[in-house]
């Protein structure tokens, strides 16, 4: 009986010891998330990109002439207070058509609202110059646009600007009674640094 009790005691002690060791092998961990979330797009900072579209010139004598426009822009944004964004931008465009080529340079101020992390709407206004046939003419611009973030650093945007001139000269833009003499509609791709 003593041997039997001793055998049962040793067996019980061995089972308890192995169970304690098995519990020590279990290391609790936090499971990885099934869907990895990316950080939200930041509208703050420097950006640069290209744009293309149309330039619609209202000639009081002939009618509305349509030209192609291609160019680039560089700028900087900062969120003044959520969701309001302030920025500055310089655009340089080449305008071409059947009977004329011109350059357009604009310095714009932008005020926008970040609608969601990926969508921003804005208003823009500023001053610039049109260069054609060796002449330059001062212009002003007012307009609006919408910009969509497509990756962490790339955005797409559509913009429409009304362009008016300060002078009563014929080329490159003839002044009329309208507030704007032309409109520039572009789409662009921008890289945010």
Instruction: For residue range 95-122, list pLDDT tens digits in order.
Output: 998 777 899 999 999 999 999 889 999 9
pLDDT above 70 for 8:
no
Q: Is 45-192 assigned to CATH 3.90.120.10?
A: no
Mean pLDDT of 136-143: 94
Bigger pLDDT: 33 vs 61: 33
Instruction: For residue range 71-99, list pLDDT tens digits in order.
Output: 999 999 998 888 899 999 999 999 998 77
Distances (CA, A) of 33 to 27, 30, 36, 57: 18, 9, 6, 55
**So what's the pLDDT on residue 162?**
94
SS3 at position 143: strand
């Amino acid at each position: 009986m003593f041997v039997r009790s001793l055998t049962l005691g040793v067996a019980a002690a061995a089972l308890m010891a192995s169970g304690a060791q098995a519990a020590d092998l279990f290391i609790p961990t936090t499971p990885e998330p099934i869907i990895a979330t990316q950080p939200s797009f930041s509208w703050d900072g420097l950006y640069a990109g290209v744009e293309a579209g149309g330039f619609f010139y209202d000639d009081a004598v002939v009618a509305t002439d349509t030209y192609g426009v291609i160019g680039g822009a560089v700028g900087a944004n900062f969120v003044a207070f959520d969701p309001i964004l302030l920025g500055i931008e310089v655009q340089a465009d080449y305008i071409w058509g059947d009977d004329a080529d011109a350059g357009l340079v604009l310095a714009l101020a932008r005020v926008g609202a970040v609608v969601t992390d990926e969508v921003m709407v804005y208003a823009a206004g500023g001053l610039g110059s049109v260069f054609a046939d060796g002449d330059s003419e001062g212009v002003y611009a007012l307009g609006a646009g919408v910009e969509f973030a497509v990756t962490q650093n790339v955005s797409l945007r559509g913009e429409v600007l009304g362009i008016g001139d300060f002078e009563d000269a014929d080329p490159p833009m003839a002044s009329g009674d309208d507030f704007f003499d032309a409109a520039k509609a572009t789409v662009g791709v921008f890289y945010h640094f």
